[in-house]
A and B are shown apart, each in its own frame.
Chain A
Amino acid sequence: MTASNPLKPSERMKIPRQEPLEQDPQERSTNFLEVSFGFDMDRTLVEAQRCLDCKTPYCIDGCPVGIDIPGFIRLVLEKDYVGAVRKIREANYLPAICGRVCPQETQCEEVCVLAKKLTPVAIGKLERFVADYEMREKLFEAPVIKEHRDEKVAIVGSGPAGLTCAAELAQKGYRVTIFEALHATGGVLRYGIPEFRLPKEILDLETERIKALGVEIYTNFVIGRTATIDELFDEWGFSAIFLATGAGTPTFMGIPGENLSGVYSANEFLTRVNLMGAYRFPDTDTPIRIGKEVAVIGGGNTAMDAVRTAKRLGAEKAYLIYRRSRQEMPARQEEIHHAEQEGIQLLLLTNPTRIIGDAHNWVSAIECQRMELGEPDESGRRKPVPVKGSEFVLEVQTIVEAIGQKPNPIIQSTTPGLTTSKRGTVVTDEMQKTSRPGIFAGGDLARGGATVILAMRDGKQASVAIHTYLADKRAAQLPSHL
């Protein structure tokens, strides 16, 4: 028993995990409205009672940004929802986003004590509820910045890493400017993650909250083109720079037929729909082409987003083609489950070998072969091996390749002295420092393709490193007798 929770641990363990409210699968597969409605207040209060408020809260270690999870849940039990979201914001400035897109099942919820024998506390859904409550009741107040500093810090890219780093540094009193190449902020949160998983209204609001800290944002500004990194230091007067340009360059399989009309990279397909609003064409000007039958290649979250988007755009059959088995799929379980509910057909242990076109150079089919799992490879996953003579042809008119992204090379190629890896990522140490003093990097640019929350972790880590770097610089400039 604690002050906030009158139930004994044995009683708390009897409460079943609450299930979130969701839009009906049939209905939602034809619209772009949010799939999950999360918890209502009743479910939130019941679920919060399940937390055992452990003496050693493993969940905090399981959270890449170290949110005081038992602390915010205690406030939920006291019905102090705004206090709860402020507690989260001490560690993570973007709770409404994390409550929606974080893979809690492999992080905080995986290590929840209840997960061993029962089901873990639905930490993600609780986070989302308090963030949405604050938003709905318009109770957000920007944190007061106690001390203002003169140094200017530039953040390149306004995705999860950039936004987080900006929020942290602005709260420390630095003058922060974000440079964004696209016309809208958010990076992958904007162009990659669909409306039905993360409504853009929420992203807009979180962005406004970052501006409320005094952060300046330049959109339509490509670092490496509109201005270089060295110009930011020498002409613009920035003292430190955080690079967070993500992994925005698509990769293609390299099979015949990829340049036929009707073949998209996941980036192009999702950017057309999410950033450019192609699902509202011709009310918007950007078109998208969707066949009766669509195949998406890949097994990650991006592939899931693409195939579920294809279904919503009117595909009668939407296939997901993945060369390994379900266990090896990198996508979140929740996303795979949602996709299947919506009628997505998973073609597992299947690998495309060529794309077939018609007389007008349009995709008409995809040839695949069956795979079986062999010995484990470098990644520890069992390697898919083709089954001889198993080729078959699937009629499709649209193909989306979602097999991974690489960092965009524009900054690396225009910034002398910046060390990059073979994979094109910017090399950093554990403090996110790059090979050049004053330049830090994080998120997918340094990792090569990871999650929103790990990008946010890097942004936060970089803000600490930049703070230390600038403090050291300040100290070095002081006269020695002080």
Chain B
Amino acid sequence: MFRIVRTDVLAPTVTRFEIEAPFIARKRKAGNFVMVRLDNQGERIPLTLADSNPASGTITLIVQAVGKTTKQLCAMKAGDSILDVVGPLGTPTPIAMHGTVVCVGGGVGTAELYPIARALKEAGNTVLSIVGARSHDLVILEPEMKAISDALYVTTDDGSYGKKGFVTDQLKDLLDTVPGIGAVFAIGPLPMMKAVSTLTRPYNVHTLVSLNTIMVDGTGMCGGCRVTINGAMKFACVDGPEFDGHSVDFDELMMRNRTYADLERVSDQKHACRLAGTTQESLR
């Protein structure tokens, strides 16, 4: 069992968890993830490690409540325990000195981007960061990102905060005006990462993206996470999750990720009904 020691609500549907997992905390590197299973009926879901503290033996996860399991997790409190957490999994982000790098985070992807941006900064890079969200209340980790960035740009789709528009608008500005950008790191929804990769291609700037895929075990066993990279089959869980954005077949992955969309809704609704049922019972 893995005890939750602290929770913070970062945005209406986004919660940060600190969880006791001393073995994982010792070994975590930027870009690693864990597989989490909440209870005996639970599914295994991949969650990126946002941070860790080897001294206190805790790991940090930042979770957006989107499906059955993430909603159930986001309803958990400090003191509650998670049945299974395994990791750190995946190949860590290659951290090198590129000169100037742009780190682009979309939505909750910013949580995954943060440890990478920090590691890039620590490696001596000039870090320009772009954080995008649909609206102001969904902008997360702004102070944290600001602290490790040489410049931080915020964009919102509705213009309720920062610059109105998409992260790609801001990225284009930077690519056009800042000389010597050596690499772009983009993490967010697949359409965003695809748009970033399409944008950077003519600039010939190395672009790394982090793919979220279907996964069961997370250790290279099921092959559910297979993606096409430069025409070859790769497993996101062990070969990735980060890949060269210019080599990824995004369209195929977006379609694959919809495989269980309807069944996920079934599971989600059942969970919602169960919650409603419990509330009614406890009211009696």
Contacts and interface: CB of A to CB of B under 8 A. Distances in A.
Interface residues of A, number: 40
Interface stretch (A100-108, A222-230, A291-299): A222-230
A271 B43 contact: no
10 contacts: A181-B217, A226-B24, A250-B221, A258-B226, A259-B227, A261-B255, A271-B222, A281-B267, A286-B44, A410-B220
A250 B223 contact: yes
B255 A285 contact: no
Interface residues of B, number: 41
A221 B43 CA distance: 18
A271 to B, nearest CB: 5
B258 interface: yes
Contacts of B223: 249-250, 252, 265, 267-268
Nearest to B257: A261
Given A258-B233, A361-B255, 18 more contacts: A183-B84, A219-B84, A222-B89, A248-B220, A249-B223, A252-B226, A259-B226, A259-B256, A265-B224, A267-B223, A271-B221, A276-B43, A281-B263, A284-B43, A285-B42, A286-B43, A408-B219, A409-B238
Q: Which of B219, B233, B238, B252 is most buried by chain A, counting CB atoms within 10 A of its CB? A: B219
Contacts of A181: 86, 217, 219
Interface in A403-434: 408-410
Given A220-B85, A287-B260, A227 B219 contact: no
B228 A259 contact: yes
B216 interface: yes
A430 to B, nearest CB: 29
A289 interface: yes
Contacts of A262: 259
A283 to B, nearest CB: 6
Interface string B252-274: 10011011100110110010000
B224 A268 contact: yes
A282 interface: yes
A268 B222 contact: yes
Contacts of B263: 281-282, 287, 289
Main secondary structure of the interface of B (DSSP, over half): mixed
Contacts of B217: 181-182, 271
B255 A410 contact: no
**Top 8 A-B pairs, shortest CB-CB distance:** A268-B222, A287-B263, A285-B43, A361-B255, A220-B86, A265-B223, A183-B84, A261-B259
Contacts of B267: 281-282, 285, 287
Contact of B238 (A268, A272, A285, A410): A410
A200 to B, nearest CB: 12
Interface string A228-248: 000000000000000000001
A319 to B, nearest CB: 21
A250 B221 CA distance: 6
B255 A220 contact: no
Contacts of A191: 221
B27 interface: yes
Interface string B94-122: 00000000000000000000000000000
A360 interface: yes
Contacts of B227: 259
A267 B220 CA distance: 10
Contact of B88 (A226, A250, A264, A268): A226
